[in-house]
Structure 1
Amino acid sequence: MHDAAATTLDATPNAALGALRAAPARALAADASYRTLGSASHPDWMQSLPDSTGLSALSIPGTHNSMSIHGGALTQTQESFGDSGATLARQLDAGIRMIDIRARVNGGNTFTIHHGAVYQNANFDDVLNVLRTFLAAHPGETVVMRLKQECTGEIGSCTDVSGQKSFPDIFDSYVSSLFWQPSVTRGAAAATPTLGAVRGKVVLAVLHGAYGSPIEHYGLTQFAQWGNGSSTYVQDNYSVPNVGAIATKRDQVRRHLDATSAGDPAKMYVNFGSGSSIFAQPQQVAGGAFGVQGVDPFLLIYLNEGHGLTRTGMVMLDFPGGGLIDKIISYN
C-alpha cells in the first residue's frame, strides 16, 4: 500500500486557463443526457448476463478523465460527488464500467491523480480502494480501466517528481489480485476475455505513456495501436476548436457508433464523446452551447431512435446524464 500524500501544481497554467478559473461559465441546464449521473443506479447490471458473453459484445457506459472534478471550466469533466475517490464510487453505482485514470509520478514512487496541472484531490490508492470495495460488494461486475501517465512537463501540464522509478515500474508495485492478471502481465498482452473470466476484477485495457503511446505490452492485444487520439478501434478526436465544431464531433461519435455495431463482434470499440479547447470547454462539448447541440443530448436521441444498432461498445463521456447511462446499458 502506498502513502496517499497530496501534491501541488507543478506548472503554471496559461493565461486563458487562469481566466476561466476566475470567471467560470454558467453551468448548462441538466437533463436526462447531461449532468444527472446521480439519477442512475445500476450497481449490478452485469450480474444477469451469461458468463460466456464476450467483453467486446457489451455496451458499456464510461467516463473520460473519470476523476477530473477540480480546476475550473477548462479542466473539469465530471460531476463532483466528493474527493478521494467518492466521485468514482458514485459513477460505479450509476453503472459506469469503463474508467479513464490519469496519474502523475509523485514522491515515494506513488501515483497521484491529475488533469493536466491540476491535482484532483485523489491518489491512485483511492482509485484502487474504491474499485476493491465496489467489486467485493458486486462480484458479478467488472471494470475496464485505461491508465495514462498524465505529465508531460509542458506549460499547462504537470511534471513528474524526479528521482522516482519509471511509470511502468511504479504501476507494477500497485498490481494485485484486484486486476485480471493477463491484462497486467508486462511482457504479454491479453486476448479480449469473456465476462465470466473477469467478474470481480479490473481489466486494464491499455497503459499509456505521457504522449499517448502504449507502454510495453500491458492491456489487451487489440489496443496495441491505441496511441494519442483515434485508431482502428478507438475514436478519440479530442480537439474541438470552437463551439461550432461540436457538430463535427457529434458526427465522429455517430460514425464510430455505426462502425461499432457493424464491426467485428470479437473486438472492443471505444468511442469518446469528449472534446475540448480554450474556445469549447468540456461542458459545452458535452451539453451544448449557443444553440449548438452537445454530444450527450445528441447521443441519447440517436440511441433512442435505434438506427439498427446492436451494441454501442465503450462510450466514454463527460458529464453523462442518468438517462444516457440507462440507455447505453439497455443495449445489453
Structure 2
Amino acid sequence: MFPCMKRVLAAAALSLALIAVPGAALAADASYRTLSAANDPDWMRSVPDGASLAALSVPGTHGTMSIHGGSLTQTQEDFGNSGGTLARQLTAGIRMIDIRARVNDGNTFTIHHGAVYQNANFTDVVRVLTDFLAAHPAETVIMRLKQECTGELGSCTDVPGQKSFPDIFDSYRTPVFWQPSVTRSAAAATPTLGEVRGKVVLAVLHGAHGSPIEHYGLAQFATWTDGSSTYIQDNYTVPNVGAIATKRDQVRRFLDATNAGDPTKIYVNFGSGSSLFAQPQQVAGGAFGVQGVDPFLLTYLNEGHGLTRTGVLMLDFPGSGLLQKIISYN
C-alpha cells in the first residue's frame, strides 16, 4: 500500500473514532452540572396571579429522576435516591418534570429510565412534591408522566396482571394535583398561575409508545405524541457528537418559534438527546470540541435575540447560571 494511502486511511479511522467513541463532556460551569449551586425555591412568588402558565419561562428536566444506569442512561446529577434528586431540583428552581414509570406489583409505579430502575417509586415523587409545595405554596410544578415500558429490547416490561396505567395513576391522585388536569374525561384549559399555586399540573399522560392516554392533562397537548409535535420540540436522536450542532439549531429555532408563537400556548423545548455514539452528558455539555446544548443556550439567552419568553426548556445536567437566566425572563 502506498504511504499516502496509509495516511488517508489513518485520517479516516481517526475521524470515525472521534464520532463513534464516547469522550468526556466539558467541565462543569454556569451552564452545565452545577445545579447544586442554584437556590431559587420561591421564584414564582413574584409572578402575578393573572399570568398564564403559557407566559412563563420555565426551567425543566428531561428524565428528571434518571441518575442510575451509566453514561448512556443518566440524564441528571445525582442528589440521592427515593426522591432526593427531585427535591434538590425543585429547590434549585426546576418547575417542569419528566417522570417515567413502570407498572409494578401491587398496582404501583416504580421510576425507570428504559430498563434501569432509578431507586425511586411514584410514592416518592408525590411525597416530595407535596412537601415542597406545602413549604412553598406560591409555586406550581408541571408534570409530564410517561408509561416507560414497551417490552422491547432496551426497555422495561410492566408486571403482568395489574390494573391499567391510568387506573393505577388514579390511585395516586392526591389533593396536590390540580384536579382539572387529572380528570380522564375532559382535558383542562391552560390555567393562570393563581389557579394552580401550590398544585401539580399534569401536562400529559403518555402511554408506552408516546400517545396521550384519554383526556388527562391540558387540552393543548392532545397531539403530543412521541417526538416533536405542534408545541413540542423533542428531536431526541443525536446520532453522533458531530450532530450536536444540529440539535443546538433545533433548540434555537424552537426558541424563536416560541417567542413568535401563540401567547396562549405552552411551548416545551427539549435540549436533551442521545444515541450510542452521543451520550446525554455529551449532548448537554459538549465533547471533542463540539459545544453542547447547555452552554449554547446560556450564551444565546445572554445575547437576547429579542426573546421575551423561553417557554419550557427541558434540560439534561443543567447548571445554576442557565437556570437563573431562564427564570430571569419572568
TM-score over 0.5 (shorter chain)? yes
Matches within 5 A, 1:274-285: 274-285=272-283
Say if 2:52 and 2:264, in contact at 8 Å, map to a contact too: yes
Q: CA deviation at 1:328?
A: 0.1
Residues 1:114 and 2:83 are matched in the alignment: no
| Alignment partners' CA distance in 2, 1:107 and 1:288 | 40
Residues 1:167 and 2:165 are matched in the alignment: yes
Matches within 5 A, 1:1-332: 26=24, 28-332=26-330
| Alignment partners' CA distance in 1, 2:27 and 2:192 | 39
**What do the CA deviations read for 1:233-277 (whole angstroms, capped 9, x no partner)?**
000000000001000000000000000011111100000000000
Secondary structure of 2:139's aligned partner:
coil
**What do the CA deviations read for 1:155-189 (whole angstroms, capped 9, x no partner)?**
11000000000000000110111100000011000
Say if 2:22 and 2:277, in contact at 8 Å, map to a contact too: no
| Alignment partners' CA distance in 1, 2:231 and 2:24 | 35
Looking at secondary structure, tell me which structure has more helix per residue: 2
| Alignment partners' CA distance in 1, 2:266 and 2:43 | 19
Q: CA 1:46 to 1:319, structure 2 compared with 1: closer, same or farther past 3 Å?
A: same
| Alignment partners' CA distance in 1, 2:119 and 2:60 | 21
Q: What is the identity percentage for the equivalent residue pairs of Structure 1 and Structure 2?
A: 82
**What do the CA deviations read for 1:13-70 (whole angstroms, capped 9, x no partner)?**
xxxxxxxxxx985453100000000111100000111100000000000000000000
Say if 2:73 and 2:280, in contact at 8 Å, map to a contact too: yes
Residue correspondences, number: 310
Secondary structure of 1:46's aligned partner:
helix
Say if 1:25 and 1:73, in contact at 8 Å, map to a contact too: no
Q: CA 1:24 to 1:292, structure 2 compared with 1: closer, same or farther past 3 Å?
A: closer
TM-score of the aligned structures, taking structure 2 as reference length: 0.93
| Alignment partners' CA distance in 2, 1:25 and 1:248 | 19
Say if 2:42 and 2:138, in contact at 8 Å, map to a contact too: yes
Q: CA deviation at 1:217?
A: 0.3
| Alignment partners' CA distance in 2, 1:27 and 1:57 | 33
Flag structure 2 segments of 5+ consecutive residues without an equivalent. 1-20
| Alignment partners' CA distance in 2, 1:139 and 1:125 | 20
Say if 1:56 and 1:265, in contact at 8 Å, map to a contact too: yes
**What do the CA deviations read for 1:188-215 (whole angstroms, capped 9, x no partner)?**
0000000000000000000000000000
TM-score of the aligned structures, taking structure 1 as reference length: 0.92
- In our comparison, the structure showing a higher alpha carbon Rg is 2
Flag structure 1 segments of 5+ consecutive residues without an equivalent. 1-22
Say if 1:47 and 1:141, in contact at 8 Å, map to a contact too: yes
